[in-house]
Amino acid sequence: MLLLQVIVGGLLLGAIYALFSSGLTLIWGMMNFINFAHGEFVMLGMYVALLVVTWLAGGPAAFGFAAAFALFVLGVAVYAGLIRHVMRGPMLAQILSTFGLALLLRYTAFFIFSANVVSLPPTALSGTIDAGGILVSLPQLVAGVTAALLTLAMHLLLTRTTVGSQLLAVAEDRSAAMLMGIRPDRMQALAWGLAAASAGIAGALMATSYPWSPSVGETFGLTAFVVVTLGGFGSVPGAMYAGLIVGLIQSLSAYYLGPIYKDVVVYGLFVALLWLRPQGLMGKA
């Protein structure tokens, strides 16, 4: 029974990892661009949720949408204001620009929200469900299921819709896409918006169960990189499986080996997998 409890907890956590990692992998797949500020997007999503709850007394649906919308706008703005320009610069400038952005966002958050640890007050989502002896906290359940559905939706958007085809077309061959009448700039801005929105909504979902402070983005950013690399750069389904796997491994190893070993196990498997399959689980070689 305890084993089942550990597995359920790990999968729910993994679903959220999958959601915010899918945003990171989308940007990589679209533009071969690494966004080091992705963890900070998650962190901002958490604060948006907090503001909506404390100022507007909004419920989970309200702060979920608010976080997604606010971060979508931020994502597009970041693309238009920063990324579009540094894309023309040398590789190093591209890498360091989002690193700088991460620090800017983190320390702005320190400035505005202070360094205090905050947590979301109880919402309509508080409580625990007893499913035949397995206790699942309602916020974690809703967060996990929503995250899984959104990741799936992101995958369907990319593979089954015109917009998705246009996004992938730009990713595959920018000039050819232009010749077909697709505006790459617009598509890339959309990709950044979607990526940031997925991080934002993941943050809002996480906020229902975890206390945080502005430095929380570091932890999430690192997790996202592991998930994306494990799943294969640019693959949304890969990020989804990898997210679930990482969540599960963390839970199982924390329970059986002790919490200080869980990262050892995760990173150990990570290195081993890269050695065997450098392109990740579902990446293209």
- By CB under 8 A, name the binding residues for another protein: 2, 5-6, 9, 13, 107, 110, 114-119, 122, 128, 135, 137, 140, 206, 209-213, 215-216, 218-220, 250-252, 254-255, 258-260, 262-263
* CA dist list (Å): 40 to 52, 139, 148, 156, 224: 18, 22, 21, 26, 11
Query: Which has the closest alpha carbon to 239: 69, 6, 15, 31?
Result: 15
Closer to another protein by CB, 81 or 121: give it. 121
CB atoms within 10 A of CB 268: 13
| Closer to another protein by Cβ: residue 93 or 145 | 145
Nearer to another protein, 13 or 204 (CB): 13
Is the Cβ of residue 89 or residue 259 nearer to another protein in the bound state?
259
**Min dist. Cβ of residue 140 to another protein (A):** 7
The three-point CA angle 157-20-53 to 5° equals 105
DSSP symbol at 261: G
Nearest to another protein of 18, 177 (CB atom): 18
Of the candidates 59, 47, 70, the one whose C-alpha atom is nearest the C-alpha of residue 117 is 47
Q: Which of 66, 42, 68 is nearest to 55 (CA)?
A: 66
CB of 26 to another protein, least distance (A): 22
Please report how close the Cβ of residue 221 comes to another protein at its closest, in angstroms: 12
Alpha carbon distance 213, 217 (integer Å): 9
Q: Which is nearer to another protein, 32 or 114 (CB)?
A: 114
Q: How far apart are CA 47 and CA 120, in angstroms?
A: 9
Q: Which is nearer to another protein, 106 or 192 (CB)?
A: 106
Residue 89 is classified by DSSP as: S
Nearest approach in angstroms of CB 175 to another protein is: 43
**Whole-number minimum distance, CB 157 to another protein, in Å?**
27
Q: Closest distance between another protein and the C-beta of residue 1, in Å?
A: 10
Q: How far is the CB of 85 from another protein (least distance, A)?
A: 29
- Map 21-54 to HEC letters: HHHHHHHHHHHCCCCCCHHHHHHHHHHHHHHHHH
